[in-house]
Structure 1
Amino acid sequence: MKHEWRKAEKETYLPKAKPTLIEVPTYSYYTLTGEGNPNDEDFGEAVAALYAMSYGIKMMPKKGITPDGYFDYTVYPLEGLWTLKEEAFSDFKEGDGFNLDDLTYKIMIRQPDFVTEALALENIKAVSAKKPNINNERVQFERITDGSSIQMLHKGAYSEEEATFAIMDAYCKEQGLQRNSPYHREIYLSDPRKTVPEKQKTVLRYQVKAID
């Protein structure tokens, strides 16, 4: 049976529009690190590289290669860890906004459990040979653990996320929690090329710990 993350992993990927405390285990990802405005063409090409690698894994059986433990599945959604460059972060004040050029990111797509490091690296070579992209050499394979985190579904434009983060921050204060990282994670449930901003759905998440 095909593994569909929207059905099988609702707790992780389909939270409600209210803050929820969740324990996120270690997952494997193709990742790509960069900085700058996500509206620039370079960012789109970086995203394309990640999708090419991810579909390279999924389509292996059609190329006569069936990895140990392979099962059919829906490719996982694009995710991103975001913060500001160090100098911009130190000057940032809530409510003042920020320059998109000051963003730093690690975008990623999760890979199924059967994907080993050796398989992932071999796939990068194979995909790069068939689908040249200047970003292919920047793609990494990593294991990442979010651990204890607060997450919430954000409905609307990316530019309006601050209101959702404010709700999450208030929840943390009530629960005696505080952020444990300058990064926050975004999981994109909508394709911005096909969805008007007011109907976009994005999971917002950040790591937390108990206040000392």
Structure 2
Amino acid sequence: MITGQKLDLAKMDKAYYTASGKPKVVSFQELAYLSIEGQGSPDGPAFAESTEALYTVAYGVKFRCKEEGKDFTVAKLEGLWWVDSEAYGLDVPREEWRWRLLIRLPEYVDEGRVRDAKERAAAKKKGLARVHQVEWTRLREGLCVQILHAGPYSEEPKTLRILHDFMEAEGLLWNGPHHEVYLSDPRKITDPARMKTILRQPVRRREEG
């Protein structure tokens, strides 16, 4: 087996995985991800099954790359959130929430490696049908504003209000789905007060029309 240095995106790209308790304007180039899309409450079975499928493929890609001497740490879970109606966020029943779960990939991971990992995962976990829904994708959000939310997910609206007030003051408009980067793994941290989440919003300047 070929060995090499393990790549950790969280350490390599601290600008992407770091935020403060005050809103800040940032910018991101096009990046590669694993993704899976769905709808419903984050407490529901579809969300749980999709998360399991996403991680299953992510680790499959990791082990394939490790065999090639290009090992990496599986990145943090992320999520894009939106609703079909014009109502915002928590004003909409959780069953109507749409989401796209993401795990960022090193740039050397191509669609072929992901396809191979999906095939292997499907063969090993025949009961995990959502593996087939995992996709390799690229996403460019460009200009964004972000803030760090410390505490349970249920208290995010207060932090989001700070972010949206900042956007209004700076003349920034929404330019894509709400984005969350889960710095804390809810599977390992049982105290919600210790959770940390980056709340990120793609934006455009008002004068851009």
Instruction: Please report the TM-score for the alignment, with normalisation by the length of structure 1.
Output: 0.88
Aligned pairs for 1:62-211 within 5 A: 65-66=67-68, 71-84=70-83, 86=84, 89-90=85-86, 92=87, 97-132=91-126, 133-181=128-176, 183-195=177-189, 196-211=191-206
CA distance in 2, matches of 1:27, 1:93: 27
State the SS of the aligned residue for 1:193.
coil
Map of 1:28 onto structure 2: 32
CA distance in 1, matches of 2:88, 2:50: 29
**Once the 2 structures are TM-superposed, how far is the Cα of residue 61 of structure 1 from its aligned partner?**
5.3
Map of 1:60 onto structure 2: 64
Equivalent pair of 2:178/2:200 in contact (CA under 8 Å): yes
State the SS of the aligned residue for 1:187.
strand
Map of 1:45 onto structure 2: 49
Note the residue ranges of structure 1 that are not aligned, 5 or more in a row: none
State the SS of the aligned residue for 2:81.
strand
Matching residue's letter, 2:35: T
Matching residue's letter, 1:30: L
Equivalent pair of 2:35/2:137 in contact (CA under 8 Å): yes
Partner deviation per Cα, 1:42-96 (whole Å, 9 max, x = no partner): 211110111011111111256xx41xxx533211111110012x2xx23x268x7
Note the residue ranges of structure 2 that are not aligned, 5 or more in a row: none
Equivalent pair of 2:77/2:181 in contact (CA under 8 Å): yes
Equivalent of residue 14 in structure 1, options 15, 18, 22 = 18
What is the number of equivalent residue pairs in this alignment? 201
CA distance in 1, matches of 2:65, 2:168: 49
Identity %, equivalent residues: 33
Task: Give structure 1 regions of 4+ aligned residues with deviation exceeding 6 angstroms.
Answer: none
Equivalent pair of 2:10/2:75 in contact (CA under 8 Å): no
Partner deviation per Cα, 1:139-176 (whole Å, 9 max, x = no partner): 11111111111111111111111111111112112222
CA distance in 2, matches of 1:197, 1:61: 34
Matching residue's letter, 1:102: E
**Residues 48-57 or 5-14, more deviating:** 5-14
Instruction: Please report the TM-score for the alignment, with normalisation by the length of structure 2.
Output: 0.89
CA distance in 1, matches of 2:105, 2:146: 21
